[in-house]
Amino acid sequence: MSSVKIFSGSASKYLADKIASSYGTPLGDVELQKFSDGELSPYYTESIRGHHVFLIQSTFPPADNLMELLLMIDAAKRASAENVTVVVPYFGYARQDRKDKPRVAIGAKMIANILEAAGVDRIVTCDLHAGQIQGFFNIPLDHLDASAIFVPYLKESITKETIFASPDVGGTARARRYAKHFKVDMVVCDKHRQKANEVAAMQVIGDVKGKDVILFDDLVDTAGTLCKAADVLKEKGAKSVRAVITHPVLSGKAYENIAGSTLDELITTDTLPLREKSDKIKVLTVADMFAKAIRKIHDHESISSLFI
């Protein structure tokens, strides 16, 4: 069996170091050269011929992160790697998963096509914005679930006063899965948008008076919806409001919004790097989960044991 070599793009090296350490192998060395006009040129400084290569890189903006990953895939294929598996902790452009209005792109499908055209053999990712994005790929895709990290962390803090919530109708299924696992009730925050990243109105479907509320979502961007939901839940009588979010996109005034909100705590993962520190943000690492997935994939074992 071919041996494993793990490499990282520049955007996710902070996480790749932890994944490689958990797996028990040093992170491979790849140099990223840049021309004066910004053109990228990655270069493997060691032989990867005949090896199973795992490339770790999230595809969040700027587009250079995606382009760097594509060039690393092409370089690995041309260097005769036996298999190239791409580990994408955060799959960018996943919010563009359908035509919700005329004359728009389906960005998630386009990115899937581009990755396949580059020659990748397998994709590993976590908590896609929409699960059906898996169907955009014609190659194997392992869709890991961050509940394997959140459930053990939340286990000790669940009481009879705990209630779960979704910040919007679209995330109801996610909150319901957690509620079913912990055998607690749930409520839904119904929001109305006038434009992207801006919530016009919100109402709570369900009773939260005297409850400790935990919100669940896949990602937090500007934190507008999350903070609005926390405010509304507190107005409806909730004792406390915490949020569990897989991907901390946290763009624009997100940190300012969180700091000034009634949200008591934001629990998230390190699929994306935090730009700032915040007393309200608790980060759990996904490194061990991805390291276990890499080992099982290489050993041709089922990864179902990683799911709760």
Catalytically active residues are 191
CA 87 to chain centre: 11
Reading the block at residue 210, the tokens are: 């005297």
Residue 203 identity: Q
